[in-house]
Amino acid sequence: MFGYYRVAAAVNKTTVANPKKNAEEILTLIHNACDKEVSVIVFPELTLTGYTASDLFLNQTLLASQNESLYDILNNIKEINTIVIVGIAVLEADRLYNCAAVLQSGKILGVVPKSYLPNNKEFYEKRQFVSGRDIVRTTVEFLDEEVPFGVDLLFTDKADLTFGVEICEDLWAVTPPSNHMTSNGANLLFNLSASNELIGKHEYREELVRTQSARCMAAYVYASAGVGESTTDTVYGGHAIISEYGSTVAQNERFTLENSLITADIDLERLRWLRINESSYSDGRRKKTRTIQVSALPKISYIQREISPHPFVPSQYADKQQRCNEIVHIQAHGLIKRMTHAHIKKAVIGISGGLDSTLALLSTHKAFEIMGWDSRNIIAVTMPGFGTTSRTKSNAVKLCEALGVTLKTVDITDISLKEFEAIEHDKNEHSVTYENVQARARTSILMNMANKEGGLVIGTGDLSEIALGWSTYNGDHMSMYALNSGIPKTLIKYVIEYFKSNASISDIIDDILDTPISPELLPHKEDEIVQETEEIVGPYELHDFFLYHFIKYGAKPSKILHLASIAFDTKYDEDTIKQWLRLFLRRFFTQQFKRSCMPDGPKVGTISLSPRADWKMPSDADVEVWLKALDNNN
């Protein structure tokens, strides 16, 4: 479904050296995974025998029992199309290999040997096993079948899934085999492991899995041996982890005496397109691999995963102070460099009492604070017009006074009336001309004042407005440094809330956050805002969601619609989401000409629409294909 696959990591109850009992537990977990619509399930290292069988691996009876039990598993999964990855010992050319067997529908698709064998302290695998790191383009006769055998095996459904397998120590190596697997297209990695528990080791283990998933731009599914293993010298906790591109999405409770199964829905389509969009992935060296096609996999009926409605906003687990500090410092130091390079001592900002100008002012004030500059050299200009309400103007004034900046007021009413007269526009006709005259008048005042004061005009427009083209060309669209250009509206709200820790402006910020978003260009009624932006262009939280998925990995309109329906299921119905998605697509394409000549501004997150770096698009590209795809659910 839209590139999502459900994967599982299983930790079975283990009886050391008793493959028959272990096979029973394995089958229970396989059937459980099948019922859960799992595409691939991975088990711990040497699943059938137990990892700690030690020198018993050198005994013919144990290997014969393992093979017999594996044969029973194959017979019992003939009607199951979930792929199963189990750990087995394989005897080939009078050498014993620690391997992973990939099974589906009663068949062995391939066998992958372990490359790196630990042989120090509590581990002594070279006593029984041989490394398979050089085995490629080979087969092995196993259970009376000729089966692909080697470290060069990848498995694919010829759609979005391509996976590779490594075993325990392989992940801990300087150059894990998974690096080469991902260079050859694997976007899903599985690890059968037997990692014992030591104080703090589980944290490092989770970090290792998570960071490898980030480095490989892949999902990584890890299953480690459980407490049924021998405790002669070590204890195993049965750690299971599923990570996706640097984030752990599922993790079990260790030290359980029962079978454990964790699942997660992984967006493999997203991972594939992220590689195209965001990295030097394509520069990775490819090696010859053998790709084995798997049969049709279970289709998930619905996505069992939380879809964040606000993908630009740090998760609830992130340290808010740290994240907001980082955002503000990126803005502040971008501005510091621009001002010092140009030998400019003053900043000029239009202040409206809205979200965007509030953050621009706060971040500019931070820059002056860092440099020890006089905050009175920040010239904040309020420019009331036909639609300005006392509430927004009052908040702007109070904020400026609290920060100790220089406050100037320039009423644009007379200037706008003269503009109307000059272009022969009826002042009672409240069209786009009526609005844009005011926006350009304000920008003209700021530019001229900057010339007079020897200052730099700070742009306040944010990333959401830039995406929608919600600005007046050569009006609020233009500045000398676009400080908010890398921050979407949802993130601006988040950062402004952080400034509430300053008691002197806390109440002002509360009221600014509570004020409807409005350009205040149409005449107000009884001092109340009559022009609410989100009633015209739609909720910014939806547009930020659309922008993230559209730019981050080029998601199709149908997928954006489906994910938004999950993320906002209790807030907006699908028809409403589709209505605003259609508007987003239209505006994003038709307003590119404004982005093509936008001023410099600092990139803050992973998405920017700067025409000089992140987003290059012709201004006359046609949106028809995307709108048809949305209508046809493609």
> In the annotation, is 45 catalytic?
yes
Q: What backbone phi and psi angles, to 5 degrees, belong to 313? A: -90, 130
pLDDT tens profile 244-302: 999 999 999 999 999 999 999 999 999 999 999 877 888 888 888 999 999 999 999 99
pLDDT of residue 470: 97
DSSP, collapsed to helix, strand or coil, labels residue 421 as helix
pLDDT of residue 593: 98
Q: What are the CB-based long-range contacts (under 8 Å, 24+) for 24-32?
A: 25/259, 26/73, 26/86, 27/73, 27/76, 27/77, 28/259, 29/259, 29/261, 30/73, 30/77, 30/80, 30/82, 30/84, 31/80, 32/261
Task: Please tell me which residue in 21, 114, 393, 493 is annotated as part of the active site.
Answer: 114
pLDDT of residue 402: 96
pLDDT of residue 286: 85
Structure letter (DSSP) for residue 318: S
The structure's pTM equals 0.94
pLDDT of residue 545: 98
pLDDT tens profile 461-498: 999 999 999 999 999 999 999 999 999 999 999 999 99
pLDDT of residue 549: 98
The 10 Å CB-count burial string (b at 16+, else e) for 264-296 is bbbbbbbbbbbbeeeeeeeeeeeeebeeeebee
Q: Where are the beta strands (DSSP E) in 367-454?
A: 378-382, 406-409
Q: What distance in Å separates the CA atoms of residue 316 and residue 339, rounded to the nearest whole number?
A: 35
- Going by pLDDT thresholds of 50, 70 and 90, the confidence category of residue 329 is very high
Q: What distance in Å separates the CA atoms of residue 590 and residue 620, rounded to the nearest whole number?
A: 7
Structure letter (DSSP) for residue 126: G
pLDDT of residue 159: 95
> Is the pLDDT assigned to residue 542 strictly greater than 90?
yes
Mean pLDDT (whole number) for 154-173 = 97
- Going by pLDDT thresholds of 50, 70 and 90, the confidence category of residue 617 is very high
pLDDT of residue 285: 80
> In the annotation, is 168 catalytic?
yes
Q: What is the mean pLDDT of the chain?
A: 96
Q: What distance in Å separates the CA atoms of residue 64 and residue 285, rounded to the nearest whole number?
A: 40
pLDDT tens profile 103-135: 999 999 999 999 999 998 889 999 999 999 999
Task: Please tell me which residue in 25, 37, 45, 169 is annotated as part of the active site.
Answer: 45
- Residue extent(s) of CATH 3.60.110.10 domains in the chain: 4-272
Structure letter (DSSP) for residue 172: H
Q: What separation in angstroms does the CA of 48 have from each of 12, 59, 119, 571, 625? A: 10, 15, 22, 49, 53
Mean pLDDT (whole number) for 431-440 = 97
DSSP, collapsed to helix, strand or coil, labels residue 113 as strand
> Is the pLDDT assigned to residue 416 strictly greater than 80?
yes
- Going by pLDDT thresholds of 50, 70 and 90, the confidence category of residue 631 is very high
pLDDT tens profile 52-76: 999 999 999 999 999 999 999 999 9
Only one residue has tokens 């372990």, namely 114
- Residue extent(s) of CATH 3.40.50.620 domains in the chain: 320-631
Amino acid in position 575: D
Q: What percent of the chain has pLDDT over 90?
A: 93
Mean pLDDT (whole number) for 563-583 = 97
- Going by pLDDT thresholds of 50, 70 and 90, the confidence category of residue 373 is very high
Q: What backbone phi and psi angles, to 5 degrees, belong to 381? A: -115, 120
pLDDT of residue 100: 98
- Going by pLDDT thresholds of 50, 70 and 90, the confidence category of residue 140 is very high
pLDDT of residue 315: 81
- Going by pLDDT thresholds of 50, 70 and 90, the confidence category of residue 321 is confident
Cβ neighbour number for residue 301 with a 10 Å cutoff: 8
Dmax (CA) for the chain in angstroms is: 100
Mean pLDDT (whole number) for 149-158 = 98
Task: Please tell me which residue in 34, 99, 168, 400 is annotated as part of the active site.
Answer: 168
> Is the pLDDT assigned to residue 319 strictly greater than 90?
no
pLDDT of residue 530: 84
> Is the pLDDT assigned to residue 429 strictly greater than 90?
yes
CATH number of 320-631: 3.40.50.620
pLDDT of residue 371: 98
Task: State whether CATH 3.90.380.10 applies to domain 4-272.
Answer: no
> In the annotation, is 597 catalytic?
no
pLDDT of residue 525: 85
